[in-house]
Amino acid sequence: MKLQFTVPILLVFLTFFTSLNGQNSNKTSDYQIIPKPAYQEILNGAFKVDKKTKITCDETLQQEAKYLSELLGAALGKTLKLEAKVNSGDIILKLDENIENNEGYELTVDNNQIVISGKTSTGVFYGIQTLKQLMPSDIVKATKIGSNFTIPAVVIKDEPRFVYRGMHLDVGRHFFPVSFIKQYIDLIAMHKMNTFHWHLTEDQGWRIEIKKYPKLTEIGAYRNGTIIGHHPGTTNDQKEYGGFYTQEEIKEVVTYAASKHVTVVPEIELPGHSAAAIAAYPELSCFPEEPTDLGKSPMSEKSKELQANGTAKVVYETWGVTGDVYCAGKENTFKFLEDVLTEVLPLFPSKYIHIGGDECPKDNWKRCPNCQNKIKDLGLHDEHELQSYFIQRIEKFVNAKGKQIIGWDEILEGGLAPNATVMSWRGTKGGIEAAKQHHDVIMTPGSHCYFDHYQSKDKANEPLAIGGFTTVEKVYSYNPEPEELTAEEKQYILGAQGNVWTEYMETTDYVEYMILPRMTALSEVVWSAQEQRDWEDFKLRLPNLIERYKAMNLNYAKHSLADENPE
């Protein structure tokens, strides 16, 4: 079903003349919603919410009704009553099979009633998110704002453009507590995004408890120091740093995300970005006796001492890429990874698991007898095909467990695994190639979707970032469907995702600053129809969301609307 994309002209004139006659009317500024709804009809009047307001719902929508009751009740100082009898309340939540899109919703507000309908409970939840944006911004503080407030009258019919609307967070370089992970999920839900890509393993830290391999968290979750300044760093802070999530905490986060209609996709990196695991279990390396090399970066005194006393491998203390990767020629490598995945997969209901596959230098494989024998035994041409074998072998294991893999676009090299979804980060070329091969694709090019880039040309007054220059406007300008694809091939573009790599993001405030409001711009890119989007219009609506950032005490980038055109 294609929805109407403009407010009827007759309605605009009627609203205007009603205003001239001095009757109760609403201003366009009352309806600054992001992402922009597919259809919005502004009505006269408003619905008053007070302590007598009642909510009713279909039996399957109890969770959404409770969420709305708590939201409204926090502002009124009293939790609103939930009525069991359908259609007897002032606010009605219901399912409607006539809505075609599984995440679509319809919202009607008039003087007497609010009705939110969805094809599924997810659609109803998104209707509530839109309703929140029509409320006073102080409501998000969960503090009493008065005995009543009003919501402007409107009819909205809405549905998302893409099925995958994601945000990524790297907790390997810097670790963040469960409380912040939940807040991050709240932001994903608020923006009607539906996927949290949780990057759990890295060279600089292993962040998920694996009971069969306790050293992964005893050793791999903690580094002995971290470089100071931009890579390669000026010195080392000499401070132990780390942390990890227990499996119970993982379950807690997954359950919380599900209550906000967010799917958690875990990432277990392989075969590269594996130095933390190798520090815990050196036998996973091609050369267990060779000491960890940080290149030009300064190493902590503790790690130097460990290496001097015979402990060759340490958790990586710098950024960039290390050549010490999982050995592809040893069977115990695959035994280890299969054991890890056997514990990880049941923790996440998602049909996907991300297995990385990016930035895997082949130098060790080229000089490793085990890897070279594997290439010869399998009749492979080179190390790229060895990586393809590695990925495809893991994919078969994951598929046998009823799951599918996502990998960064390097997994195209040497031959793409049969059922893999490609996440295209090195521009759009990999995504285009995968879509032409009829593989599902998630677009996340560094040019538009990397939120670790600078947001201003005035870098001296900006937090340290990895580089680049990506403004809110540049994020907003992105179209995830490349022009090079045919209409049929574009069907393989599932959506897009914002990536947050945390080399230089040491605190939660830092992360907030880097994602907001670039995340807000991306939310409209992946939700609203391409022909409906307009930068000047978005700028007019953004202040409404910024008022909500303020109410939530979020550390957003305040120069977001500065006149800095994207390069």
At 145-163, the pLDDT tens digits run 667 899 999 999 999 999 9
Give the model's pLDDT for residue 80.
Answer: 87
Range 82-89 average pLDDT: 72
Mean pLDDT of 21-41: 78
pLDDT at 79 exceeding the cut of 90? no
Domain edge (last residue) among 136, 158, 180: 158
pLDDT at position 11, please? 34
Does 79 or 181 have the greater pLDDT score?
Answer: 181
Of 130, 158, 186, the last residue of a domain is 158
- Give the CA dihedral 312, 244, 171, 553, nearest 10 degrees: -140
Instruction: CATH number of the domain at 179, please.
Output: 3.20.20.80
Place of tokens 């267990």: 288
* Contact predicate 341/353, CB 8 Å: yes
Buried b (16+ CB within 10 A) or exposed e, 208-232: bbbeebeebbebbbbbbbbbeeeee
- Please tell me whether residues 384 and 486 are part of one structural domain: yes
- Inside any domain, residue 66: yes
How many Å apart are CA 74 and CA 142, to the nearest integer?
A: 5
Which of the pair, 516 or 140, is modelled with greater confidence?
A: 516
CA distance 127 to 133: 10
pLDDT at residue 8, rounded to an integer = 36
- Note the pLDDT of residue 136: 87
Number of domains in the chain: 2
Residues 132 and 232 placed together within one structural domain of the fold: no
Do residues 148 and 197 share a domain? no
Same domain, 444 and 373: yes
Look at residue 54 and tell me if it is in a domain.
yes
Regarding whether 200 and 111 lie in a shared domain, the answer is: no
Is 138 a domain residue?
Answer: yes
- Which residue bears the tokens 């309605």? 11
Shared domain check, 227 and 104: no
Q: What is the pLDDT of residue 401?
A: 97
Quote the pLDDT of residue 75.
83
Residue 52 belongs to what domain range?
9-158
Q: Which of 26-35, 303-312, 547-556 has the lowest mean pLDDT?
A: 26-35
Q: Please tell me which residue in 83, 252, 338, 359 is annotated as part of the active site.
A: 359
For residues 95-117, average pLDDT: 97
Encode pLDDT of 323-364 as tens digits: 999 999 999 999 999 999 999 999 999 999 999 999 999 999
Note whether 190 and 58 are same-domain residues: no
- Residues 279, 202 share a domain: yes
CA 375 – CA 365 distance, rounded (Å): 10
Extended strands (E) in 71-144: 81-83, 91-95, 105-109, 114-118
What is residue 333's predicted lDDT score, i.e. its pLDDT?
98
Active site residue 359: yes
In whole angstroms, give the CA distance from residue 408 to residue 356: 6
* Burial class (CB within 10 angstroms; exposed 0-12, middle 13-18, buried 19+) of 455: buried
Residue 169 maps to a domain: yes
In this predicted model, what pLDDT tens digit does every residue of 432-484 receive, in sequence order?
999 999 999 999 999 999 999 999 888 888 999 999 999 999 999 999 999 99
Question: Is 42 inside any structural domain?
Answer: yes
Is 541 within a domain? no
Residues 78 and 175 both lie in one domain: no
Residue 146 shares a structural domain with residue 250 = no
Could you give the percent of the chain with pLDDT greater than 90? Answer: 84
Q: What is the pLDDT of residues 277-325, one digit of tens each?
A: 999 999 999 999 999 999 999 999 999 999 999 999 999 999 999 999 9
* One domain, residues 127 and 170: no
Please state whether 2 falls in left (phi above 0), alpha (psi between -120 and 50) or beta. Answer: beta
| Residue 354: predicted pLDDT | 98
- Residue 4's pLDDT is 41
Domain end residue (candidates: 115, 142, 158): 158
Which comes out higher in pLDDT, residue 350 or 144? 350
Kindly report which listed range (76-90, 327-341, 413-427, 547-561) carries the lowest average pLDDT score. 76-90
Predicted pLDDT at 279: 98
Q: Is 415 helix (H, G, I), strand (E, B) or coil?
A: coil
- Which has more confidence, 189 or 136? 189
Domain presence at residue 461: yes
Confidence band of 560 (pLDDT split at 50, 70, 90): low
Q: Does residue 253 carry a pLDDT above 60?
A: yes
CATH number of the domain enclosing 123: 3.30.379.10
Q: Can you give the pTM of this predicted structure?
A: 0.94
Whether residue 557 lies inside any domain: the answer is no
Q: Are residues 366 and 442 in the same domain?
A: yes
- pLDDT > 80? residue 6: no
Average predicted confidence (pLDDT) for the chain: 92
